Structure 1
Amino acid sequence: MDIITAVLTRRSASALGAPAPGDEEFRYLLKGAATAPDHGRLRPWRWILVRGDGLTAVADCLADEDPAADREQLVSSVVRAPLKAMLVFTPHVGHRIPEWEQLAAASTMTYSLMLLLHGRGYSSKWRTGRLCTSEALRVRLGLAEQERLLGALDIGTPDPSAVPSARRAPMDVSDRVAVFG
């Protein structure tokens, strides 16, 4: 798949099944994604890959923190894909590269990874919410004080009957461009 096709046809999918990339394939794709712009080559991010029983452990951690939550719904929302790749932002505090630029590098790398996954026939969906704000999960994952969980990619093989149409027209962005000079 050429790059423009990947960009124009990538869509988030909620219905994801097996297979998902294995650890080595994920590392291989990450090698490509890590070539995204990163001023200072700081790699201010790391990934925590969660599968199988680890998904249940994450769900249990979130449910234990909020006993009023619907435990069944919470568990199903966490285990909806065979792989949850959690993005941890690891800024280099006090570095000459400002934190906002380090965050931009982590974000750009993540989108590159999503395109590479799509090019390989996988699909992904970016997840945030409670996952990112849970203190219990921070502790369970062993995050350092300066680290933040930015979100997670649910990754797997899309269910062909549930994939959003990649044929829909790309968004009109003509009003998002101004010419100066």
Structure 2
Amino acid sequence: MSSAYDAVRDRRSLSKVTDAAPTHGELLRLVAAAGRVADHSSLRPWRLIELRGLDREVLGRAINKADGHKGASTKPLRAPLLIAVVASYRKSSKVPRWEQEAVASGVAHMLSLLLDDEGWGVFWRTGHYTRSKAVAKAHGLDKNEELLGWLYVGGKPPRSRGGHRKPVDASRFLSRMPQKKAEH
């Protein structure tokens, strides 16, 4: 097992994966760890929905319905496991909606890092379908919930294992607080 630094540095999205996927039990263990993200007031304003097998075809039909087409989109069939990421907003006078969505996003990102570190290929798919009524209905979302996208999960193809992402030039993104000029 690598260090957290190595796992974060080496992570990359894989849009093509094999038909292998983590089991429900393996996923539970990783979700328990991912759920430890910073969460103001411990609201846990998120939930995940596991889509396997025919669930993906149901999603494909909902996607096509959202676009006004018949039949089923094949997009959800690009990985054996899809994990729908849902922001499940809680009433709070201290924690605004944007912060709750940030927590749900943090859980998804942490889960993607954990899956990648365990050898799984992961790709976080978003898009206009996440706000579709047909897609929300297919996922059984409540009125206080929004779909943030899906983690597409499968095995890493052998040819994908050696590549690295372009490094981030941190000096472009890290600065100091502006200082007021001294008044005379």
TM-score by length of 2: 0.88
For residues 162 and 135 of structure 2, the distance between their equivalents in structure 1, rounded to whole angstroms, comes to: 31
Q: 2:33 maps to what in 1?
A: 32
Structure 2, gaps ≥5 residues long: 180-184
Post-superposition offset of 1:26: 0.8
Say if 1:13 and 1:163, in contact at 8 Å, map to a contact too: no
Say if 1:46 and 1:88, in contact at 8 Å, map to a contact too: yes
Residues 164 and 136 of structure 1, relative CA distance in 2, 3 Å threshold: farther
Task: Note the 1:119-138 alignment, pairs <5 A.
Answer: 119-138=117-136
Say if 1:12 and 1:164, in contact at 8 Å, map to a contact too: no
Q: 1:6 maps to what in 2?
A: 7
Say if 1:16 and 1:81, in contact at 8 Å, map to a contact too: yes
User: Are 1:140 and 2:145 matched, yes or no?
Assistant: no
Task: Note the 1:1-181 alignment, pairs <5 A.
Answer: 1-68=2-69, 74-75=73-74, 77-162=75-160, 165-166=163-164, 168-180=165-177
Q: Secondary structure at the match of 2:99?
A: helix
Moved more, 108-117 or 156-165: 156-165
Higher relative contact order (CA 8 A, sep 6+): 1
For residues 95 and 30 of structure 1, the distance between their equivalents in structure 2, rounded to whole angstroms, comes to: 27
Residues 101 and 20 of structure 1, relative CA distance in 2, 3 Å threshold: same
Say if 1:13 and 1:164, in contact at 8 Å, map to a contact too: no
Residues 58 and 176 of structure 1, relative CA distance in 2, 3 Å threshold: same
For residues 86 and 18 of structure 2, the distance between their equivalents in structure 1, rounded to whole angstroms, comes to: 24
Post-superposition offset of 1:32: 0.7
Pair member with larger Rg:
2
TM-score by length of 1: 0.89
For residues 66 and 49 of structure 2, the distance between their equivalents in structure 1, rounded to whole angstroms, comes to: 20
| Counterpart AA for 2:65 | D
| Deviations, residues 137-163 of structure 1 (Å, cap 9, x unaligned) | 211222111110011100111112245
Structure 1, gaps ≥5 residues long: none
Q: 2:182 maps to what in 1?
A: none
Residues 49 and 4 of structure 1, relative CA distance in 2, 3 Å threshold: same
For residues 100 and 164 of structure 1, the distance between their equivalents in structure 2, rounded to whole angstroms, comes to: 37
For residues 134 and 161 of structure 2, the distance between their equivalents in structure 1, rounded to whole angstroms, comes to: 33
Q: Secondary structure at the match of 1:15?
A: coil
